[in-house]
Amino acid sequence: MTDLTERLLTAASRGATHELGPLVDSLSEQVRGHGITVDWDDGAGEDWARVFDHSAFMAIIWRRGPFAIALTELPAPVATWLEKSGLDVLRVPSFDTPSFRLERSAVPVVMGADQWPEDEVPLEGMSIRDLWWATV
């Protein structure tokens, strides 16, 4: 089981200097014409930008701090951009394998509130897709 707690807390502690909007714009420019899209609705208060290769979900970039989670196998333009982005990037083989955990003490930092949808997403044994869903 991979513990996400320290990486998320560390990224959140560096969040004051992190702006997701310019990163989304930069990545969108980098991948233009490659069938890759970046989806983030700042106006809706979304905490993650999602990156898709056509319709395949392949990376997420966090608003609260300089942290991203991406599939191990990525198209070259996305991999190159992530390497140069300055983000702490966790590479994972799948967004659907429930092999991640988060300490309860980190929930207020990760969520911005002391709530976690434990009925739908356990803190032990969640997938990256679960994390995205719980914190979007």
| pLDDT tens digits for range 7-61 | 999 999 987 667 889 999 999 998 988 889 999 988 888 889 999 998 889 999 9
Q: So what's the pLDDT on residue 94?
A: 95
| pLDDT tens digits for range 70-84 | 999 999 999 999 999
- CA torsion through residues 20, 24, 27, 29, sign: negative
Q: So what's the pLDDT on residue 17?
A: 66
Could you give the CA distance from residue 51 to residue 72 in angstroms, rounded to a whole number?
Answer: 14
- Helix (H) or strand (E) holding 9, with range, is helix 5-13
Pairing of strands 67-71, 124-126: unpaired
Burial class (CB in 10 A: 0-12, 13-18, 19+), 131: buried
Mean pLDDT of 85-103: 94
CA 38, chain centre distance (Å): 12
Mean pLDDT of 125-134: 91
Q: So what's the pLDDT on residue 120?
A: 79
